[in-house]
C-alpha cells in the first residue's frame, strides 16, 4: 500500500469532509483576525492588519456524540446551550489578550477540560460564532444541521 502525507492545503480542504477523531485537537484562528492590509491603490497586501502575536489561536476538539445529539434536538437554537457546548470543546488557546488590562490571558479549564465559562463569555460573539462553525465542521455536522441551529 502506498503511503501518503497530507499537506496543509489538502488537509484544510478535507477538514469538513472526512472524520476527525474525538481525541484529536486542532488549532483555529477566526477569520476576524486574518484580515490583510489593503494598500493605497486598493490592493490586498501580504501583511495582516493584526500582528501574529496578537492573533488568538484556539485549540479545539470535535463535538462528542452526546453534543451532536443535543444540537440536533434544538428546535430553535437556544443561544446559551449552544455556547455551553462550544465552550466545552475549546481546550486551549494562545495569544489571547485582555485588551482592557493589556495582559496575555492564561487558559483556565473547567472540570472536563473545556474553556472556563467566564473566559469564554468574555469572547466577542463573532468569535464564539466562528468557533461554533469551525467545530461543527470538524465534527461532521452538515450545512443543513448547522443552518438549523
> Where are the chain's structural domains?
25-147
Q: What is the pLDDT of residues 4-63, one digit of tens each?
A: 888 888 888 888 888 889 999 999 999 999 999 999 999 999 999 999 999 999 999 999
CB atoms near residue 133 (< 10 Å):
16
Burial class (CB in 10 A: 0-12, 13-18, 19+), 124: exposed
User: At 2, is the secondary structure helix, strand, or coil?
Assistant: coil
Q: What is the pLDDT of residues 96-114, one digit of tens each?
A: 999 999 999 999 999 999 9
Amino acid at each position: 500500500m502506498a503511503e501518503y502525507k497530507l499537506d496543509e492545503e489538502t488537509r484544510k480542504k478535507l477538514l469538513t469532509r472526512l472524520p476527525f477523531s474525538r481525541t484529536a485537537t486542532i488549532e483555529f484562528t477566526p477569520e476576524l483576525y486574518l484580515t490583510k492590509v489593503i494598500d493605497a491603490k486598493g490592493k490586498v497586501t501580504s501583511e495582516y492588519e493584526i500582528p501574529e502575536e496578537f492573533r488568538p489561536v484556539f485549540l479545539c476538539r470535535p463535538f462528542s456524540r452526546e453534543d451532536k445529539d443535543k444540537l440536533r434536538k434544538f428546535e430553535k437554537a437556544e443561544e446559551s446551550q449552544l455556547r455551553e457546548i462550544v465552550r466545552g470543546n475549546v481546550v486551549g488557546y494562545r495569544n489571547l489578550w485582555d485588551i482592557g488590562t493589556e495582559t496575555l490571558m492564561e487558559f483556565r479549564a473547567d472540570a472536563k477540560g473545556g474553556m472556563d465559562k467566564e473566559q469564554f463569555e468574555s469572547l466577542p460573539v463573532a468569535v464564539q460564532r466562528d468557533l461554533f462553525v469551525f467545530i461543527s465542521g470538524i465534527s461532521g455536522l452538515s450545512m443543513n444541521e448547522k443552518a438549523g441551529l
